[in-house]
Amino acid sequence: MAQLTSIEPAIRATDEEVQRLCEFLYRRTGMSFSIDKRYYIDRRLAERIAVTGSSSFQSYFALLRSDVDHEIEHLVNAFTVNETYFYREEHQLHCLTAGVLERIVSTRPAGAPIRIWSVPCSTGEEPYSIAIWLLENWGQVDAFDIEIVGSDIDTRVLEAAISGVYGKRALMRLSATVIQRYFEPIGPGEYRIDPGLRDSVQFHRVNVVDPQQTAAYRDFDVIFCRNLLIYFDDASRRLAAENLYDCLRPGGYILLGHSESMSRISPLFDVCRFPDAIVYQRAEGGHDNQ
Amino acid sequence: MPLIKRGSASGTRLPTSAETPPRAASHASLASRLADLRSAEAERRWRAARALGRDPEVVPALAAALRCEPVARVREAITTALLRIGTEASVAVLIDCLRCNDAGLRAAAIEALQALPTAVRPFVEALLADADSDVRILATELMRNMPERDVTELLCRLIEHEPHPNVCAAAIEVLTEAGTSDAIPVLEACSRRFAHDPFLPFAISVAIARISGTEG
C-alpha cells in the first residue's frame, strides 16, 4: 500500500475539482468514486500532487490527462490497495458461495467440474483464499470437482505463490482456527500453507492481453480479475475483456475489484446484482444480443 | 479434499509457469478467416474478427462486415480489430460509422475512436464543421482524450458560432472535463446567447465551476 502522509495537504482540491477527477477516473479506468468519499480521495490526490511537484490541481489534472510519466497508473495505484492478503474483499467470497456457485450448480449434476480462475493471482493469497473459503463455507464443496487456477504475468510472484510461505500480516483476516487448520508455523511470524491445499491450486503464467496465451484457458465458470483492467489503456482493456469472455463458459461469471465497472469497459457481459456484490456474466449460449 | 490437485488426471492441462504457452490452435489462412467473417454463425464471425486484428490489409473486409453485422459482441470484436490496426484507413471506417442509423454501432465506433486520439485528430475539424448536427455532437465526444489545448481551441471555435443547442451542450460537457480557463469567456458568451434555453446556462455554470475549481 502506498505510504500516505499524515500532514495536512499543501493543496486541497475543491469539491468541483474532485468531481472532475472522479468523472475522469471513471471514464478512463472504470473505477467509481464519488464526492462523498472525499476523506479517501483527498489524501491520495494530495500525495500525487506533491510527488509530481504540481503547483495546483489544475496543473496536476493537465499532467494526469496527458498521462505524463504514466501518471494514470500512479494515481490508480494510490487509489487501490495494492497489498494483498487472505480473504481480501471478503464480500466477494460470500457472493461466490451464496450467489454465483449456487446458480451455477443449480443446472449441473453432482460430480461435475467447476473451474475457477484467479488472475492476476500475485503471490497466491487470492486463489488460496478461494480454496479455503470453499472448504470452510460451501456446503456443496464435496459434491463437485473444483479446479482452481491462479495466473499472473510475473513469474517471480508465481514462484512465491507456489512456495506458499506468508507473513503474519497476510493472514490478518483469518481466524485462529483457519490458520491452525491450513497453515504451519515455520519461523517467527512465518507460515507455510498446508501442502494439500497448496497442491489444489495450479499456477501458470499468462498475459491476459495476448489472445494466443489465453487460448489455453477455456471453460471457466468463475474468473476473479480484480484491479487489473484499470491499469490498461482502452485498446488493451477491450482486448483483455474479449479474451476473458472467451475464457469463460457460456453463463460464467467474472468478478472485478469493488471500485471497477465492466459496464464502462466492455458491453460483452451482462450485469448481475447479488446481495453481496455486482458480478458480470457471459450470456448463456445462443443468447447473443442483436 | 474435493479440490482437484495440481497435475491430477481430472485437471485441465495448462502451460506451467516455466513453459511457453501453446500458440492458438487455429492456423487458419487469411482467406479462410475472411470467409468466416461472412459466416452465418456468429461464433465463427467472432473468432474471425478476433483473429484479424493486426493486418492492415483486412480493413476493407472488416469495414464490410461491420456495416452488416447484427450481433453486438461480434461488432465489438470488429471495432476492436479496427482499433488495434489503428491506421488512417481503419480510423476512416470507424468515422463512417458516425453517420449510420444504428445507435449501438455509433457508440461502439465512438469508444474505439476515443482510444485513438492522435489518429483521429486530422479528421476532427471537418467533423466539427459537418452539416449534420448529430455528427458534430459525436465529434465533440472524440475530443475527450485529446490535449487540453486542442480541446479548448477547437470546441471554443465551435460553440462561438454553433446554432444548435444540443451541439453546444455536447461541447460544453467535454469542456467541463477537458477544457482550460481560456474557454471561460467563450462559455460566458454562449450562456448569454442561449439565455432562454432551459438547460445551457446551467450546464455552462457547472462547466465554469469545474474548470475554475470554484463552486458553481
Look at residues B82, B115, B148 and tell me which one is the last residue of a structural domain. B115
Asked, for residue B3, whether it belongs to a domain, the answer is: no
* Whether residue B131 sits in one domain with residue B91: no
Task: Select from B2, B16, B86 the Cβ nearest to the Cβ of A142.
Answer: B2
Asked, for residue B129, whether it belongs to a domain, the answer is: yes
Q: Which helix (H) or strand (E) holds B121?
A: helix B117-128
How far is A256 from A251, CA to CA, in rounded Å? 16
Task: Select from A141, A146, A288 the Cβ nearest to the Cβ of B4.
Answer: A146
Contact B4 A141 (CB under 8 A): no
Closest residue, chain B, to A138 (C-alpha): B2
Asked, for residue B19, whether it belongs to a domain, the answer is: no
Q: What are phi and psi of B209, to 5 degrees?
A: -60, -45
Neighbours of A134 (CB within 10 A): 23
* Whether residue B107 sits in one domain with residue B87: yes
Asked, for residue B73, whether it belongs to a domain, the answer is: yes
* Whether residue B172 sits in one domain with residue B84: no
Asked, for residue B165, whether it belongs to a domain, the answer is: yes
Residue ranges making up the domain that contains B39? 30-115
Look at residues B91, B115, B139 and tell me which one is the last residue of a structural domain. B115
Asked, for residue B76, whether it belongs to a domain, the answer is: yes
* Whether residue B206 sits in one domain with residue B181: yes
Going residue by residue through chain A, which has 290 residues, state the pLDDT in tens, using 9 for 90 and above: 444 444 456 778 899 999 999 988 888 877 778 888 888 899 899 999 999 999 999 999 999 998 889 898 888 878 876 678 999 999 999 999 999 999 999 999 999 999 999 999 999 999 999 999 999 999 999 999 999 999 998 898 999 999 999 999 999 999 999 999 999 999 999 999 999 999 999 999 999 999 989 999 999 999 999 989 988 888 888 999 999 999 999 999 999 988 888 877 788 999 999 999 999 999 987 557 66
Beta-carbon contacts of B98 under 8 Å, excluding residues fewer than 6 positions away, are B106, B109, B110, B127, B135, B138, B139
Beta-carbon contacts of B18 under 8 Å, excluding residues fewer than 6 positions away, are A155, A205
Closest residue, chain A, to B14 (C-alpha): A216
Q: Which residues of B touch A24 (CB under 8 A)?
A: 177
Q: Are A107 and A144 in contact (CB under 8 A)?
A: no
Question: Number of folded domains in chain B?
Answer: 2
Q: What are phi and psi of A122, to 5 degrees?
A: 50, -130
* Whether residue B212 sits in one domain with residue B130: yes
How far is A88 from A127, CA to CA, in rounded Å? 11
Contact B21 A216 (CB under 8 A): yes
Task: Select from B18, B80, B215 the Cβ nearest to the Cβ of A242.
Answer: B80
Q: Measure A155 CA to nearest chain B CA, in Å.
A: 6
* Whether residue B103 sits in one domain with residue B82: yes
Q: What is the CATH number of the domain that holds B100?
A: 1.25.10.10
Torsion angle defined by CA atoms of residues B111, B112, B117 and B120, in that order, rounded to the nearest 10 degrees = -110
User: What are the grid coordinates assigned to B91, written together?
Assistant: 480510423
pLDDT digits (tens, 9 = 90+) for B22-80: 444 445 688 999 999 999 999 999 999 999 988 899 999 999 999 999 998 999 999 99
Asked, for residue B23, whether it belongs to a domain, the answer is: no
* Whether residue B79 sits in one domain with residue B145: no
Task: Select from A16, A217, A245 the Cβ nearest to the Cβ of B213.
Answer: A16
Q: Which residues of B touch A213 (CB under 8 A)?
A: 21
Look at residues B85, B115, B145 and tell me which one is the last residue of a structural domain. B115
* Whether residue B108 sits in one domain with residue B66: yes
* Whether residue B127 sits in one domain with residue B215: yes
* Whether residue B215 sits in one domain with residue B134: yes
* Whether residue B141 sits in one domain with residue B88: no
The reply to whether A121 touches chain B by the CB within 8 Å rule is no
* Whether residue B153 sits in one domain with residue B67: no
At A284, is the secondary structure helix, strand, or coil? coil
Q: Measure B43 CA to nearest chain A CA, in Å.
A: 10
How far is A252 from A261, CA to CA, in rounded Å? 17
How far is B73 from B71, CA to CA, in rounded Å? 6
Closest residue, chain A, to B102 (C-alpha): A290
Q: Which residues of A touch B73 (CB under 8 A)?
A: 245, 267-268, 288-289
Q: Does the pTM of the predicted model rise above 0.80?
A: yes
Q: Which helix (H) or strand (E) holds A134?
A: helix A125-137
Beta-carbon contacts of A288 under 8 Å, excluding residues fewer than 6 positions away, are B42, B71, B72, B73, B74
Q: Which helix (H) or strand (E) holds A251?
A: strand A248-255
Asked, for residue B2, whether it belongs to a domain, the answer is: no
